[in-house]
């Protein structure tokens, strides 16, 4: 069903540990497939019949857990879920090798990227990164699908991210750079995205024609933006930094005045959960420009496309 995603020069991806595990052609194909799945749910209702997937969650989750469980079941498969530290009682490599005997794939939401990569190394199964400290590829796929639905195109759009240069920012950079989306990121000094990931995005942007802009100037970043995106200022595991981050990030709060510095038709995007009154005001969250819940819905469809890509 998803065979069209694999031209001769691009073998089926082994997993989705990072955004770059899918070639640019496969990235575009997954977005196309996600749109098809969204429009024709019944067509894919038995696509994963007989497939069983382990969901491992070291971090609390609403959208990720619900959408993956629903995606698997709506595709005809089934899943088992473990919540808590993955390698608390035994070495990670032993956990992975046990899972390899029982299931067809692993979806993991972890504190570290190393955990994702070790699960793949020791299990030999397709592993989907459902969030790590470095990447959030499934979120970025849902975001790209949302932009495509609202603007009917991706190439040439400008996406501006403001706030913490975190895992979400990294995945948005890598996806935008390959799809021809101009991506501007504005952060407080010292909170810019990972330098190596930024450099890789800039290399990829040269191929697609996208422009990558990283800096601390909000006005420059917002000028001409089709979408303004933010995330929480303090991620899980960074609670001790919350007070200091609040002081530094307050100028980056997305208000209606800040949003007005972008295009008149600019969307507001957030991966959720939103801390209203911190990174975004309640007024913006409730405005017609907010598409955060479209993004949340599209997690389901994008993840279905990922699972089909890896298991079909």
Q: Which residues carry out catalysis?
A: 109, 136, 139, 231, 271, 299
Length of the chain: 312
Tokens of 280: 């975004």
Residue 221: CB atoms within 10 Å = 25
Q: Please list the alpha-helical segments (H only) found in the chain.
A: 24-39, 63-74, 92-100, 113-123, 137-151, 167-179, 195-208, 218-222, 242-249, 256-259, 282-285, 292-311
Provide the token pair at 301. Answer: 């469809």
Q: How far apart are CA 288 and CA 299, in angstroms?
A: 20
- Block residue for tokens 């007070």: 243
Identify whether the C-beta of residue 176 lies closer than 8 Å to the C-beta of residue 183.
Answer: yes
């Amino acid at each position: 069903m998803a065979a069209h995603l694999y031209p001769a020069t691009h073998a089926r991806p082994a997993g989705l540990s990072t955004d770059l595990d899918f070639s640019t052609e496969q990235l575009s194909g997954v977005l196309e497939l996600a749109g098809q799945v969204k429009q024709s749910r019944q067509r894919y209702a038995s696509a994963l019949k007989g497939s069983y997937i382990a969901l491992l969650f070291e971090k609390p989750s609403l959208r990720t857990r619900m959408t993956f469980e629903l995606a698997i079941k709506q595709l005809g498969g089934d899943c088992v879920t473990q919540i808590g530290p993955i390698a608390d009682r035994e070495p990670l490599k032993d956990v992975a090798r046990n899972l390899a005997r029982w299931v067809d794939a692993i979806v993991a939401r972890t504190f570290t990227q190393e955990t994702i990569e070790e699960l793949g190394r020791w299990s030999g199964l397709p592993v989907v990164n459902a969030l790590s400290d470095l990447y959030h590829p499934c979120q970025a796929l849902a975001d790209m699908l949302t932009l495509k639905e609202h603007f009917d195109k991706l190439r040439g759009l400008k996406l501006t991210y403001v706030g913490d240069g975190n895992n979400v920012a990294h995945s948005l950079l890598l996806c935008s750079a390959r799809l021809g989306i101009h991506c501007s990121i504005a952060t407080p000094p010292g909170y810019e995205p990972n330098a190596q990931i930024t450099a890789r995005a800039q290399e990829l942007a040269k191929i697609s024609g996208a422009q990558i802009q990283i800096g601390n100037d909000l006005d420059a970043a917002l000028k001409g933006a089709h979408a303004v995106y933010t995330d929480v200022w303090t991620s899980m595991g960074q609670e001790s930094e919350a007070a200091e981050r609040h002081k530094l990030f307050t100028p980056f709060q997305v208000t209606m005045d800040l949003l007005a510095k972008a295009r008149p038709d600019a969307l507001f995007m957030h991966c959720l959960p939103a801390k209203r009154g911190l990174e975004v005001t309640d007024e913006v969250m409730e405005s017609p420009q907010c598409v955060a819940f479209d993004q949340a819905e599209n997690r389901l469809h994008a993840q279905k496309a990922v699972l089909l890509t890896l298991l079909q």
